[in-house]
Structure 1
Amino acid sequence: MSGTIPPIPPPFGASSGNPGSPNVNRVDTMPTTTDPINTTTITNKVRFLVFLNGLEPYLMKTLEDGPFVPMSSLSTSDNPLPKRQNQWSNTESHLANQDIRLKSIIISYLPNDVMKSVIKCKTAKDMWNDLILAHEGPSDTRDTKIAALRLKFNAFKSL
């Protein structure tokens, strides 16, 4: 191994050439794709879900089903009666607080402008659904975008 130290690379998004020569080893910081589906949003969603599952698997259940509400032994399917908070066991209290914890985790990962739009939601499930709707669109729109991409790919493959 030689005793020379390699040069420090320029910061991400900066040009390593001289300032007068445009597009020399230039890295664009803005995406230039015109794909109808934002793959970064989908990747971040999957990454966040894997993080939640690793943190505590019950958080995923809270995200899908909504907050846990301890029910009284007198409740029926026709007449659900939640327990008063002073009657909750330690386990029930822990599970009921998972929604608050999940809301805190979601808000901590959002930029301020996005956070302001979802902070008003009552539950983490509502917050998550609003984020999915805002960034991916309704499921039928997403399915249409995927079908359009498949058509474009097949047309490209046939060329």
Structure 2
Amino acid sequence: MDSDKYLEGQSMQRPPLFESDSFIYWKNRFETYVKSKDLDLWHVITNGDFQPIVQNPETKLDEVIPFEKQTDDLKKRLAKNNEAKMVIYNALPRKEYERIFMCNTAKEIWKTLLITHQGNSQVKDNKIDLLVQQYEQFVISKDESIDSAFARFNTIITSLKALDEGYSSKNYVRKFLRALHPKWRAKVTAIEESKDLTSLSLDELIGNLKAQGKNLVMKMCFEFRCEDEEYAKASDSGEEDDEKVKDETCLVAHASSEVCSESSYFSDENSSIDDLALDNEYDKLCKMSLKIITKNKRLKATRNSLENELRELLRAFSLRY
């Protein structure tokens, strides 16, 4: 919303502007803002106004302290009541202010906002049930990037926390691992073997998954190149004049080399790559590996066939002469 929709008299450092469509998001930001400014203000908003009351030592009853007998410290404390109301006012557009202007205390204002936009206890419980269901059924598709999956997952757990519901950090980590597509199985196993999941944070897990993906792609490319070089050497040591064998070897070597060299993942101009692009590169290498394996099998069959023919020719020649 535009700044002219704010109430007049607000300070330069405004609290987060109220968002009815994203109430939980605003609520968390507003709470953090108030606590960062003054914890007493948040106490007033959630627990009610400070009262100028003292217990009469004779009657043991609470009595209101007249203004003229209030100490400066007490007056400063009582001023928190109006400060708390003002910080809420400064966060609300005029339409929302008209809804709560009859409230006498910051606590009443806050309760009205919660009931209006978050619902009563029954509505809150229904929202929690829905979020818990989303959490339990959370899965990551084959083509979804880690960043996208983490954003969805984080929205669910943040919403649960805002409703005073949630799971442990250890549970978040294990749930995210279980939600991954089977294509991530090798990476998950590597993380489980190298990390202590009881102390691993969700942010650390995301970083490790990205690192595992990068290492796996580089390792696969390296293995392909090494395998191609071995086949090339084996061909050169044998029937050097057989053009078919040479052509097969060169084709296989060129195929894997082309994937690795032309991949944007290994380009100096694109040293950083998003997770979806990384998955695409990984899938490309997997498909190419099948082609390379097939060509290698054909190469072996060709070499074996030529060796058998050569042996038969030598045998026939020796018998004849």
- The whole-number CA distance in structure 1 between the counterparts of 2:136 and 2:59 is 51
- The whole-number CA distance in structure 2 between the counterparts of 1:44 and 1:158 is 28
Runs of 5+ in structure 2 lacking a partner? 1-19, 142-321
1:90 alignment counterpart: 72
Deviations 1:125-159 (A, max 9, x none): 00000001111001221121221233245446499
Q: How large is the Cα RMSD of the aligned pairs?
A: 2.5
From 49, 54, 67, give the equivalent of 2:49. Answer: 67
Deviations 1:63-104 (A, max 9, x none): 122111122341689732110111111110011111111111
2:202 alignment counterpart: none
Native 8 Å contact 1:75 1:82 kept in 2: no
SS at match of 1:72: strand
From 16, 37, 42, give the equivalent of 1:55. Answer: 37
What is the TM-score of this pair, normalised by structure 2? 0.35
Q: Which runs of 4+ in 1 moved over 4 A?
A: 75-78
1:138 matched to 2:126: no
Native 8 Å contact 2:55 2:61 kept in 1: no
Amino acid at match of 1:54: S
Deviations 1:44-77 (A, max 9, x none): 1111111111111111111122111122341689
What is the TM-score of this pair, normalised by structure 1? 0.67
Amino acid at match of 1:112: R
1:41 alignment counterpart: 23
1:103 matched to 2:85: yes
Once the two structures are overlaid, the 10-residue window that deviates more, 143-152 or 76-85, is 76-85
**Count of residue pairs the alignment pairs up:** 122
Report the identity percentage: 21
Amino acid at match of 1:131: L
1:17 alignment counterpart: none
- Relative to structure 1, the CA distance from residue 76 to residue 113 in structure 2 (aligned partners, 3 Å threshold; closer, same or farther) is farther
Question: Which fold has the larger relative contact order, with Cα–Cα distance below 8 Å and residues 6 or more apart in sequence?
Answer: 1
Higher CA-based Rg: 2
